[in-house]
Amino acid sequence: MLPEPEPVGGVPSPKSLKITKDTLTKFKKAIDTALSELDDSAASHTRVSLLTMAAPAYGQGFTAATELAASYVKVHDNLQTLSKSLGDQLEALGIAVECAHRGFENVDAKQTERLRVIQSQTENQYARYQDKQHPQHQAQGGKHLGGDGL
């Protein structure tokens, strides 16, 4: 009998994709740890939202100070969105692992609803991003299809 050929181009064989209960459990713990560490860090959504700076702190009476203040607000808002989105995506990944481990029908209804909410929020966030990047697309009322096909 001939040996099984090596994967071409780094594509794993079906055997190497076999997932055990232990694998999923360890992965879920790693996701939960990452989410907990994010929540406890300076990058948590709660902490980032508190880091505001009043416009007069940049100076008054000259255009550069006004532009700097506006830039800070924009960057701060984006960091808040990123922090919340990262936490939500980690939570969604944890729920997805739980679904893969126990089966979708065996997962708590609250978790599956939370997964749907996160998905909806992510889609809306992506649509807003696309609208900012391609305003003519929004005016046409089309679906959001970026270079990534989303």
- Flag whether 142 is in a domain: no
Q: What confidence score (pLDDT) does residue 117 get?
A: 96
139 pLDDT more than 70: no
Cβ–Cβ < 8 Å for 94, 39: no
13 pLDDT more than 80: no
Tens-digit pLDDT profile for residues 35-71: 888 888 888 888 888 888 888 888 888 888 888 888 8
- Flag whether 12 is in a domain: no
* pTM confidence score: 0.63
Q: What confidence score (pLDDT) does residue 2 get?
A: 52
How many domains in the chain? 1
- Flag whether 29 is in a domain: yes
- Flag whether 149 is in a domain: no
Higher pLDDT, 138 or 108: 108
Q: 89: domain range?
A: 21-132
Please, which pLDDT band fits residue 29 given cuts at 50, 70 and 90? Answer: confident
Please, which pLDDT band fits residue 5 given cuts at 50, 70 and 90? Answer: low
- Flag whether 64 is in a domain: yes
SS (H, E, C) 90-146: HHHHHHHHHHHHHCHHHCCHHHHHHHHHHHHHHHHHHHHHHHHHCHHHHHHCCCCCC
Average pLDDT of the segment spanning 115-142: 83
Percent of the chain, pLDDT > 70?
Answer: 77
- Flag whether 99 is in a domain: yes
- Flag whether 126 is in a domain: yes
Average pLDDT of the segment spanning 120-138: 86
